[in-house]
Chains A and B, each alone.
Chain A
Amino acid sequence: MGFVLDGLETEAYDRTYRDRDLLRRIAAYLRPHTRRMVLVSLALALNTATTAAGPILVSRTVDTLLVAPSTRAIVVLTVSLVALGIAGWALNFVRQWYTARVVGDVVLKLRQDVFSATVLHDLSFFDEHPSGKIVSRITSDTQDFSTVVTLTIDLASQVLQVLVLTLWLVKIEPRLALLLMGMTPISAVIALSFRRVARRVTLHAKQVTAKINADIQESISGIMVAKSFRQEQAIFDAFHERNQEAYRVGLRRGLTLNTIFPILGISSGIATSLLVYIGGLATRGGISPGDWLLFMQTVGFYWWPIMSISSFWSQFQDGLSAAERVFALVDAEPKVIQSDRQPVGALEGQIDFHQLRLSYTGRELVLPGLSLHIRPRETVALVGHTGAGKSSMARLLARFYEFQDGSLLIDGRDIRTLDLHEYRQRVGLVPQVPFLFSGSIRDNIRYGCAGATDEQVLQAATRIGGGDWLSALPDGLDTDVGERGASLSTGQRQLVALSRVLLKDPPILILDEATASVDPFTEAQIQEGLAEVMKDRTAVVIAHRLSTVRNVDRIIVLRNGEIIEEGNHEALLAARGHYAELYNTYFRHQSIEYMEQARHLAEPGSEGQSARSDTVATRP
């Protein structure tokens, strides 16, 4: 009975697909199940006939009995009702049984299709769409889409039922049938206008409740602080006011939603009383008492289906919106396009950016025409302010994004012509925030090298920081990392990510150094590990650590997508150019000199003087 209240929370959604196109695609998913659908439709039609036949049979028998009481008529009626009941139940069974299979299979197929379409998209797609929304499209929207199917089946059965009854009633007494049908739009109008109000109140309540809940959560997080400063009364007053507001909003929504059924009950009561009287009068001229009885019984048959039919359209639209969100995900065009799938073979690791132009939006140039030659097994650090183009270069190298002009050559071959999967197997990537999958540390190190033996995994892990980090873990390599690595510390996650690269042993490494604060013991192991992974391979590092920039072969200094300086740490620092400025901004506080002098920094009188030039000056 809840249908009038269904689907009130869905937000308005701008559609770009036409209904017809959506329905055609939905139909395509149903086509493999044609035989089942035919069975469902047959069962549905026959079931409608059995449901309508019951009241008709009763009314006929009543008329017979009024004329001449006969035991035979009573027995026939009873047996027929039982037979109709069994048949109706069996038909309904068939309908539900096969519907469940069709819906289950269609949703599964759809989910598989959406998933494979999603993972094919390049990373710019994932930048544009928050992952939470993508997930809900794959799991929830596919589910909601299935309501289009079930809603349609339910609607068909109700429309059929109303049609059969209407035909019968019109045959008996057209004027009375007209009266009955004339009243049904009233209930439809009530239901529809109520839905509008209810939808508004529900959406409003949803927004307000989210805000209030956030406030209540804040006042709970604040309890500890309030207590340590003895501000309980103040924080309670703030809470009390919020709680009152939550009460008022909830009450308003609750009362609104609770109004509809009693109101509809009243309207159906009025309809019944009219039929009792007018129909009763009609028995004097034409219709039989049995017919009158049939009219009485059909009020219920009419009233509720009409309401669910009236709310069908908006729910159907919600279902179509869900379908559109799903198909939009499937249809989005990948932007990274390979022109060929040439085998990659063993890589030397030579990289050439040649007059490379990149723009994400089509307007703003991120890289206006960058050229850079990186020798095999060279380690290169990219430094620059945020937006200088460091990450863009790394992403292009991983072939996560498409560039507009120029070329990117790997061992002298155009990156666009390589077999992408094979190429990526030869590239190691350590993202800034290391990502772990739930499972053990072993599984995570092995991710990407499914064939690696336990021994190889252990060897890789041991080469990072001398393997000391493993002893801090409760079950060593078998330690469960928890959801997304939650049971490991940030530093430990970085160590796992480094081990992963060592096991993969790629000729090219792309490393985005983490900036999160890590305890000094783990940090020491990470720094040792970084030196280890960069050894003997081409490494492009987005550097945030002083120890890294001091140890690479070459530092590339970027500003606004252009290379403005390059060289090693000492030479660049001595040149006092942009690198020196970057050093003062990002690396100075990591130097041992800074640590030694930090105490004096804070002493009175030191405020005005620039510690910056001091520290730089002390550099050899």
Chain B
Amino acid sequence: MLREPVEKREFTVANEYPYNHAGTVRWIASHLLRYPLFPLLALAGAILNNTFYSSLQVFVGRAFDVITTPGWTSAALLVVGLTVLGAGVGQGLTGLLRNYSMEFLAQLVERDAREELYVSLLGKDQTFHGRQRVGDIMARATNDVHMINLMFSPGLMLILDSLLGTIMPIVLMARINTRLLLVPSIYLVFFAITVIDHNRRLKPVTIAMRDQFGVMNAGLEEAIAGIEVVKANVQEQYEWAKFTQDARSYRDSFVRSGEIEAFYLPPLVHTIAAAAALLHALQLWQVGVLTLGQVVSFFGLMRALSFVTFISIFSFNLVQMGLASADRVLDIIKARSEMDENKQGTARAVDGEVIFEDVSFGYGEQPILKHISFAAHAGETVAIVGETGSGKTTLTRLINRIFDADCGRVLVDGIDVRDWSLASLRSQISTIEQDIFLFSRTVRDNIAFGRASASQDQVELAAAQAQADEFIARLPQQYDTLLGERGVNLSGGQRQRLAIARAFLTNPRILILDDSTSAIDSATEDLIQRAMWRISRQRTTFLITHRLSQIRWADRILVLRHGELVDQGTHEELMARSEAYRRIFARYESGNGERGH
């Protein structure tokens, strides 16, 4: 069996359905074909529904012939009446069949696509997740996947129905007499031209309208959110003028779109065509080719064609947007991270020495880190300080290989990180992010997340070491308290200490700690200090921090500015030689206060 090389995935589920990833349309088709029954039923339902609907017109004509034939019997009329009844009921039932099949299909595809996306996300490595914005992925798993649903129902369903709503009357007309097709075919050509032309003119205006609404809304949101500043600076008039301008350009586009809608030609084309069709049919009646009842049937079918004018840009837009969404979802599913797992690489216990040798890194052309060199001994605490955007976080991500350096080397225990087995390296490095993520589970489950086998004693010990035991004891159900959405919300400092407790349990050799929370009160600050100090013992710790106290007691301080390591050393060394570093302590050192008395 020849198959393309199996992609590397860290997670799979049993009995996974093999979808086609070769292209967007093929991918959607493969989802569709997972349930072949539903598309077939939907198609059959749509064909029958439109046949019944159109044939109602034919039967009305037939009834007309019955009642205009001298000496007609009630029984003959009853037969036609019952036929009409049958067609009416049949139309409704087959309509239900079509709608339900399509709805099942749409919902199933949404469910499956979301699951496929989720499984693929779980299969991606940390490199991928470290690079991807969570918000972006969320949008794809909720909005985009839902757009695929809407593309089927009502999008494709409406298109299918409009198509059959055109075909079936034409077929039935042909069955009455093929010569009747003359006017309808001309009509369809003109209809198509006018609809396309209309949409062509309307589209830019619709887009402008949507954009201008967005601009107006955003401007307004800003003015209202900043109302305090607006008022304090007496800018009410200016904001009013700005809003009015936005609201007026929206109004202009709205009116323009109303004008274009008013000029919608297809109904005019249809009434003229219907008159012409009637003329044609009556002429055929005069020469005896048709009965008057057939003329009535034909005229009814011609009128049925006007319903096609209802297929709006709406359904086509839905399909277009659905395809674009599918594209975005498939992009993620297909994305592969290029990081080499290096299974043959070094796999052993990490001691904790980290060395950067002339390391540079950038996204594309944009350099983030330039020629960074430093050495951290095992067990040291390294504080990284610098302004926002100076490259602090990126620097730490080179250690656990979320990114690989462009130039230079990063060594752990003297071995290039690229020569380590990725799994072995990463399992011994833990990261506590700035935004701490907790699951909507109990406190206990959150602490023991990395070691589900941990005993209650171990969990409590970790919590105590992380200075989290006191606040946990005050929670309504202590360790069994549910957190998150439907549970208790914790403060930033509390979340941080839970994450530290989690790290105590898993005991990594290298810890990366992004600590940018602010403690407003000193008591919390005491707890955080203790927790941080303890977790940083016995392991190499990289602290991205704003706290001067932590900088003060770090073994080594790295000062970053615009991606460059401008200085490094202990507090005393930096105080002695760095102007910038002295400045940050300047207003604290003046023990007696600066003001004269």
Contacts and interface: CB of A to CB of B under 8 A. Distances in A.
Contact of B580 (A85, A220, A225, A521): A521
Contact of A265 (B95, B218, B278, B506): B95
Interface stretch (A164-172, A249-257, A409-417): A249-257
A228 B231 contact: no
B587 A547 contact: yes
B571 to A, nearest CB: 10
Given A100-B254, A220-B137, A229-B506, A236 B119 contact: yes
Contacts of B138: 216-217, 220-221
B100 interface: yes
Interface string B141-171: 1100000010001000000000000000000
B88 A265 contact: yes
B238 A518 contact: no
A266 B584 contact: no
A241 to B, nearest CB: 11
Contacts of A266: 88-89, 91-93
Contacts of A247: 107-108, 110-111
Contacts of B580: 521
Given A101-B258, A135-B221, A524-B584, 15 more contacts: A86-B272, A95-B262, A96-B261, A100-B257, A108-B247, A115-B244, A131-B221, A251-B103, A272-B84, A273-B85, A289-B64, A437-B226, A521-B580, A524-B587, A569-B593
Contacts of A598: 529, 533, 549-550, 552-553
B interface, over-half SS? helix
B596 to A, nearest CB: 11
16 contacts: A75-B279, A81-B271, A85-B275, A108-B250, A119-B240, A216-B114, A217-B141, A224-B437, A239-B118, A240-B115, A246-B111, A262-B92, A492-B388, A515-B520, A517-B518, A570-B593
Interface in A380-411: 398, 400
Contacts of B114: 216, 243, 246
Contacts of B450: 228-231
B230 A119 contact: yes
Given A82-B275, A218-B440, A229 B386 contact: no
A420 to B, nearest CB: 9
A227 B122 contact: yes
Contacts of B238: 450
B569 to A, nearest CB: 16
B540 to A, nearest CB: 17
B554 to A, nearest CB: 10
A62 B387 CA distance: 87
Given A243-B118, A280-B67, A273 B77 contact: no
A236 B11 contact: yes
A350 B421 CA distance: 71
A617 interface: no
A427 B234 CA distance: 10
A202 interface: no
A34 interface: no
Contacts of A132: 221
Contacts of A96: 258, 261-262
Contacts of B506: 229
B363 interface: no
Interface string A596-614: 1011011100010001100
Task: Point out which of B102, B250, B271, B551 has the most chain A C-beta atoms below 10 A from its C-beta.
Answer: B271
Interface in B385-438: 385-389, 426, 430-431, 437
A66 B71 CA distance: 15
Nearest to A132: B221
A447 B229 contact: yes
Interface in A496-521: 504, 515-521
Interface string B224-237: 11111111111110
A474 to B, nearest CB: 10
Contact count band on A: 35 or more
B562 interface: yes
A232 B216 CA distance: 44
A120 B236 contact: yes
A330 interface: no
A61 B333 CA distance: 65
A97 B389 CA distance: 54
Interface string A522-533: 111001100000
A84 B270 CA distance: 12
A100 B232 contact: no
A223 B278 contact: no
A74 interface: yes
B530 interface: yes
Contact of B121 (A223, A491, A591, A611): A223
B246 to A, nearest CB: 9
Nearest to B299: A58
A76 B67 CA distance: 25
A126 B223 CA distance: 12
Contacts of B439: 218, 222, 225
B122 A235 contact: yes
Nearest to A438: B222
